[in-house]
Chain A
Amino acid sequence: MNLSLKPSASAEGETFVDLAHTPLRELNSALHKLAADTNQTLWKIANPAGRHAIAAGLDVPVTIEIDGPVGYYCAGMNKQASVIVHGNAGVGVAENMMSGLIHVKGDASQAAGATAHGGLLVIDGNASARCGISMKGIDIVVKGSIGHMSAFMAQAGTLTVLGDAGEALGDSLYEAKLFVRGSVASLGADCIEKEMREEHRALLASKLEAAGILGEVDISEFRRYGSARTLYHFHVDNVSSY
């Protein structure tokens, strides 16, 4: 396997992997075999070249820095690890994440953070359609804008957007909380704007702080959206919404 400890590695241990020469399977296998107390706590991945499922299925508190664009499902089902993508991310980045941090320095494609149960996903650029679809507890912070049908059937967690939201935001929403600073093209079925009370401002502040941008944006510029809860039970009067 073409994994090499750099001579100048830090005390924690820095491992360099060049995906131009190392098969992805070997990288992921090595990451899956790491013990919880590993001293290989920083991994630098070169030449990702849009490969899919890079660093998927991790369950160890290490940091992975990926130098370039990643394909589908980067860091899928992540637990504990911090994954930083110095580039754009394909479909389903951080899908079904349980815990940890995924930071995309570029833009993200569709379904970013889909179904994720926990952890923090930060996207410096824009996220495409269905950002946070069926999210189940993750916190997502998008510094740019998000596409249509974002937070569709979102169950729990927070979605914070510094830019604009596309059409049908929060369609069929459950209990996820949505904060948008810019415009919202339209709201989906059963998604309504809600009062921004102090508790919500505090919640938003905590998410901005986690994303490292507290103080950089004015919290009073955000509006809160959530479920009207009118579709929680089937009823003939809601038939046009089904």
Chain B
Amino acid sequence: MTDHSNTPRTTPHTLPRASATFDDYTLSEIRRAAATGIYDIRGGGAKRRVPHFDDLLFLGASMSRYPLEGYREKCSTEVLLGTRFAKKPISLKIPITIAGMSFGSLSANAKEALGRGASAMGTSTTTGDGGMTNEERGHSTQLVYQYLPSRYGMNPDDLKRADAIEVVVGQGAKPGGGGMLLGQKITERVAGMRTLPVGIDQRSACRHPDWTGPDDLEIKIEELREITDWEKPIYVKVGAARPYYDTALAVKSGADVVVVDGMQGGTAATQEIFIEHVGIPTLAAVRQAVKALQDLGMHRKVQLIVSGGIRNGADVAKALALGADAVAIGTAALVALGDNDPHYAAEYEALGTRAGAYDDWHEGRDPAGITTQDPALMARLDPIAAGRRLANYLAVLTLECQTIARACGKSHVHNLEPEDLVALTIEAAAMANVPLAGTDWIPGRNGGF
């Protein structure tokens, strides 16, 4: 007879083990796709972890570098954009601008708040796909008018009352992709401005209708300059993909300013797969763009604006140290206005998400009243108070950037330089072309690894 006294009553089981490849989010997306048959559309930029400015550190002053006294010694922040050809360059008091976001994707109150906040700090805002509104023009002392493939709402009167023109070739969230604005947000006013039927799912072209390539763009820019009598700075905005060549070709085409938008840069609505898998991180784009300008002898002559994932003054300072003239913020500006505020936690949960993760901006049900055209929701956003929050936030970014610049001994934020930086990771060192911290090793420099 066998003795079973030492046999456990139940066989031990291994713990449930989720797949790293098929993680919970991936599984949920497969189920969603199977149920609906349509790709997932959302707003915002890349959410996955990518090498970013967090992977860089400033060295600060030491024996061989003198710091400037905080609050006493001047550290200037002004930026002049459009000095190459424009008769009337834009003068910004801070090196932080507001990126292009459309009326349509954003509520009129949100656009007004952006204008109020930016104007209070002496910087510019930018229109988006869908044209310029009077509220936006009225509340923005300096307004950049985007020239997009769709040309929704494009007209010469607005072109002439803009302070600068931004020819949009692409954006970081979707280089090579067009826009979309789903029917929930195509209200009568939005439809009227875009010459579209009310309530349709609007698609925007991914390519300009009347030019292809840099040779054509040069002629297009000449036309825009002729129409505006060579007064306005002309920017060319590209999504970060091939930033060295794109920047060089933008310069060749006659741009006054090049805007490079990394993959963390937001969009109003695009396929999730596009946002996460097309384009390169902002960090990887900056030095390439700067190198193109330097190789052409155009650094600081053609200004560079960098955007995509700028959150604090350190990000601003790092972008400038790598050679940018200014940065643009979009997502962070919306958060400053009130986007994803925990105040509306219960309502975000009712939408199947949570405060901080809400990205279904295209559905127009934003509890914070920002990414919506619903009059009741929109009324929740007080444009004066929200504009003040944005101004406060911009002030903090500027002060933080100045704090770092002074610590590095710089009397102007533009005097920050790559030599002030080191990288925490090999990837960031290679992308930013600065040494790995604690070493003098720059991957790729002098034929090295």
Chain A residues within 8 Å of B, Cβ to Cβ: 24-25, 28-29, 32, 52-53, 56-57, 59, 71-73, 76-77, 79, 91-92, 95-96, 98, 110-111, 114-115, 117, 130, 133-134, 136-137, 152-153, 155-156, 172, 174-175, 232-236, 239
Contacts and interface: CB of A to CB of B under 8 A. Distances in A.
Contacts of A175: 197
From A96, A110, A114, name the one whose CB has the most chain B CB atoms within 10 angstroms.
A96
A134 B37 contact: no
Interface in B160-195: 182-183, 194-195
14 contacts: A53-B219, A53-B222, A72-B216, A72-B220, A76-B223, A77-B227, A96-B154, A110-B210, A111-B210, A153-B203, A233-B183, A234-B182, A234-B201, A239-B37
Contacts of A53: 219, 222-223, 226-227
A236 B36 contact: yes
Contacts of B210: 73, 91-92, 95, 110-111, 114-115, 130, 133
B168 to A, nearest CB: 14
A209 B219 CA distance: 34
B219 A79 contact: no
Nearest to A98: B155
B85 interface: no
A77 B156 contact: yes
B77 interface: no
Contact of A130 (B182, B209, B230): B209
B197 A57 contact: no
Contacts of B230: 25
A91 to B, nearest CB: 6
B270 to A, nearest CB: 13
The 5 closest A-B pairs by CB, nearest first: A236-B37, A57-B227, A92-B210, A111-B210, A115-B151
Contact of A77 (B36, B38, B155, B196): B155
Contacts of A32: 229
B155 A172 contact: no
A59 B222 CA distance: 18
Nearest to B156: A77
B222 A236 contact: no
Given A73-B223, A174-B197, A232-B200, A114 B155 contact: no
Contacts of A130: 209-210
Band of interface residues on B = 20 to 34
Contacts, number: 103
A156 B195 contact: yes
A136 B195 contact: yes
Given A56-B227, A92-B211, A130-B209, A72 B219 contact: yes
Nearest to A116: B151
A174 B196 contact: yes
Interface string B224-255: 00111110000000000000000000000000
B159 interface: yes
Given A57-B156, A96-B151, A98-B156, A155 B196 contact: yes
A24 B155 contact: no
Given A133-B210, A236-B37, A29 B229 contact: yes
B392 interface: no
A115 B154 contact: yes
A73 B209 contact: no
Contact of A137 (B38, B195, B200, B229): B195
Contacts of A133: 209-210
Contacts of B219: 52-53, 71-73, 91
A239 B33 CA distance: 13
Nearest to B41: A234
A110 B210 CA distance: 7
Contacts of B36: 236
Contacts of B150: 134
Q: Main SS of the interface on chain A?
A: loop
B211 A25 contact: no
A118 B183 CA distance: 25
Contacts of B200: 174, 232-233
A174 B83 CA distance: 41
A233 B201 CA distance: 5
A114 B150 CA distance: 10
B216 A91 contact: yes
Contacts of A134: 150-151, 205, 209
Contacts of B183: 233
Nearest to B152: A136
A77 B216 CA distance: 17
Nearest to A133: B209
Interface in B197-216: 197, 200-201, 203, 205, 209-211, 216
Nearest to B150: A134
From B37, B150, B156, B210, name the one whose CB has the most chain A CB atoms within 10 angstroms.
B210
Contacts of A233: 183, 200-201
Contacts of A91: 210-211, 216, 219
Nearest to B160: A57
A153 B201 CA distance: 13
Contact of A76 (B38, B196, B227): B227
Given A233-B200, A233-B201, A115 B209 contact: yes
A111 B209 contact: yes
A77 B448 CA distance: 53
B260 to A, nearest CB: 26
A51 to B, nearest CB: 10
A129 B248 CA distance: 29
Contacts of B229: 28-29, 32
Interface string B41-83: 0000000000000000000000000000000000000000000
